A = this chain, B = another copy of it.
Amino acid sequence: MADNHAETSREGGVNAPPLLDLTIDNITPNTIRINSQSSNARLTYLMARLVAHLHDFARETRLSTDEWMAAIEFLIGCGKICTDEFILLSDVLGLSLLVDNINHPKPPGSTEGSVLGPFHTHDAPTLANGASMTSDPEGEPMLAVCTVRDTRGRPIPGVTVDIWETDSSGHYDVQHADRDAPSERCVMVSDDGGRFWFRGLKPVSYPIPHDGPVGKLLQMLSRHCWRPAHVHFMFGKDGWDRLITALYLRGDPYETSDAVFGVKKSLVVDLDKVDKATAEEYGVEEGSWLLKHDFVLTTQEETEKLRDQLATEALQKLGLSLKLVDHLPVPDLD
C-alpha cells in the first residue's frame, strides 16, 4: 500500500501526520496513523483493526454510494427505535455469541454460555426457594429444580441466580406497554446444598422484535426471526466467572435455526413430568412440567487462565505478534 505521508507536521500547532491526496490505496495507513497518537495501546490496536476491516470491506465490495447511504440510514433507524436494536443487530450477526465465547471459554464439564439478549432487567424480585416467578394464568406450569456446583461436583452456596423467560404469549414483561411490575423473572440464591428451585412456565418459542431495521434486515435475508423455547439463567458470585446461559427445550422447531445463534447441544434439555412424590415435596400439581438441571461454574481464575491461553494460541495461529496486557492483546513492539 502506498504510504508516503510519514513525516510529522507541526505547523500551526498541529501535531499530526500530514494527510493530503488520500486515495483508495493510501487512505487506510493514513487513517490508522492519525488514530495512533493516544497513549492507549489497546485503543490504538482496536482502532487500527477496525479501520483496516472497514476499509477492506469497502474495497472488496466496491461499496456503492447508495449502499453506503443505506447502511447509514440503517444505523439511524436502529438509533431511533430503541436502545436495544444495536444489541439485536450484534445478536443476529453472530457477534454477541462470538464475543461471549471469546471471553468466557468453558473447560470440559462446565456449563456452556449462551447469549444474554436484550431482556435482562435489574428490577427482578429476589424470591425464596419454591416461590413462583410467574403471574401468567395461561401458561403451562413448570417446576424447576436445579443445583450449582464446581467442576469437581461440590455444591456452591450463595450464588445469585437471575432467571427470566417470556410469558405464555412469547413476550417478556418489558415488552408489554402496561407493565407495572416484573413478571416471569426473579433472582434466587443457591442454598447450602447449591440448590435453587422455583415455579415458572414451560417456555415457548417466540420471534425477536422484528418491527425495526433488524427485522427488515432478516426479511431481506430470507431469515426467520424466531428463537427456540428457552429459560435464561445468569449466575454470579465473587471469585466465580459470571455465567450467562439458557436452557433450550429439545424438539423445538427452531432448535437448529435460532435467529441469534444461542443454542448449544449441552444446553438442550428434556422436560419431565412431576410425579406424586415430587408434587408433594415441592407443593406443586402432579403431572405439571419438571425441569431438572445441574449447572457447573468455573472460577474466575480458571477462566482467565483459559482465556489467556486460548487467546495466545489463536493469535499465534493468526500470525499476529501480540502480547497480552490486562488479558487483552496489544501489538508487541519490543
Give residues in A with beta carbon < 8 Å to B. Answer: 5, 9, 11-14, 16-24, 27-28, 30-31, 34-35, 37-40, 43, 45-47, 49-51, 53-65, 67-68, 72, 75-76, 78-80, 83, 86-87, 90, 93-104, 220-224, 226, 252-258, 261, 263-265, 307, 310-311, 314-315, 318, 320, 327-329
Q: Once the chains bind, are B34 and A223 in contact (CB under 8 Å)?
A: yes
Q: List 20 A-B contacts (CB under 8 A).
A: A9-B256, A12-B253, A14-B253, A16-B257, A19-B263, A27-B97, A30-B94, A31-B93, A40-B220, A46-B61, A51-B93, A53-B53, A53-B57, A55-B95, A58-B95, A59-B98, A62-B311, A63-B102, A75-B86, A76-B86
Q: Once the chains bind, are B58 and A102 in contact (CB under 8 Å)?
A: yes
Q: Once the chains bind, are A61 and B16 in contact (CB under 8 Å)?
A: no
Q: In the assembled complex, how far is the CB of residue A270 from the closest CB belonging to chain B, in whole angstroms?
A: 16
Q: Once the chains bind, are A257 and B94 in contact (CB under 8 Å)?
A: no
Q: Once the chains bind, are B14 and A47 in contact (CB under 8 Å)?
A: no
Closest to A70 in B: B46
Q: Once the chains bind, are B31 and A62 in contact (CB under 8 Å)?
A: no
Closest to A262 in B: B22
Q: Which residues of B contact A31 (CB under 8 A)?
A: 93-94, 261
**Given contact pairs A49-B61, A58-B102, A72-B87, a sample of 18 additional A-B residue pairs in the complex whose CB atoms are under 8 Å apart:** A16-B224, A19-B257, A19-B261, A19-B263, A20-B263, A22-B94, A27-B101, A27-B261, A30-B94, A37-B221, A37-B222, A40-B220, A43-B221, A59-B314, A62-B315, A62-B328, A63-B102, A78-B79
